[in-house]
Amino acid sequence: MLASFTRFLPQSRPALIALAAILWCAGSAPAGAQAAPESAMRETLAIGEEPGRVSTDEVVIDDGPYKRQLVFFRTNEAPGTFIIQTSEHFLYVVLGNNRALRYGIGVGRQGFQWSGLVKIVKMAEWPDWTPPPEMIQRQPYLPRFMAGGPGNPLGARAMYLGGTVYRIHGTNQPETIGENISSGCFRLANGDVVDLYSHASVGTKVIIRQAPTL
């Protein structure tokens, strides 16, 4: 199944192909948010990213529970609001009239999950990736900068959340959708994040919950 999603760059060096870099998404949580413990923020992820591994913007989750679909969703939030429910691995775009567009997502692993209310403050297509100093100190072999493109771990689109370093973004590892894998960011398959991006704008309200509300 992995081969159907991705391929390696022919010019990639073996060291790059084998690279298991950590995409550092942890940082200061927004005001009022329930953040992960500081000690957990410093931990190294067990599952790394793969810079240089290609996944095109056509990749979508087209089968199973994480397939993008229109669902019944009861909420008092205004249409256009994004609601993330980490325990379900779903992101909902509120459409009104008890309907929402639902996307499967990958979320923070145990100890890296958080909740709160933020807004999208920046949007980028094929965003660049600059590993922060904390990551470089632990893994000095990582690239200091990677230009946006199909081999970038941030994928096809990124939506930056509030004053934090958390993002909703794509991924070059679509098989990780539905898993607890990141350090606090929310990832979608590239085709799905492109679709989600079309529903977003700077100022979009984003609600992050650990579990659904009754």
Nearest Cα to 23, choosing from 204, 202, 209, 158?
158
User: What pLDDT is stored for residue 43 in this prediction?
Assistant: 34
User: What pLDDT is stored for residue 31 in this prediction?
Assistant: 46
User: What pLDDT is stored for residue 178 in this prediction?
Assistant: 95
User: What pLDDT is stored for residue 128 in this prediction?
Assistant: 93
pLDDT mean values, one per 10 residues, the chain (214 residues): 37 36 41 44 40 59 93 97 97 97 93 91 93 70 85 91 90 92 90 96 96 70
What backbone phi and psi angles, to 5 degrees, belong to 47? -115, 120
Copy the structure tokens of residue 197. 């991006």
Question: What string of DSSP letters covers 8-73?
Answer: E-TT--HHHHT--B------PPPTT-BPPPHHHHTSPPSS-B-TTEE--TT----SSTTS-EEEE-
Copy the structure tokens of residue 94. 């509120």
- Residue whose pair of structure tokens reads 């960011």 in the numeric block: 185
User: What pLDDT is stored for residue 214 in this prediction?
Assistant: 59
pTM of the full structure: 0.74
Q: What is the DSSP letter of 40?
A: H
* Structural domains of the chain, with CATH: 2-209 (2.40.440.10)
List for the chain the helix, strand, coil content (%; round to 5): 15, 30, 55
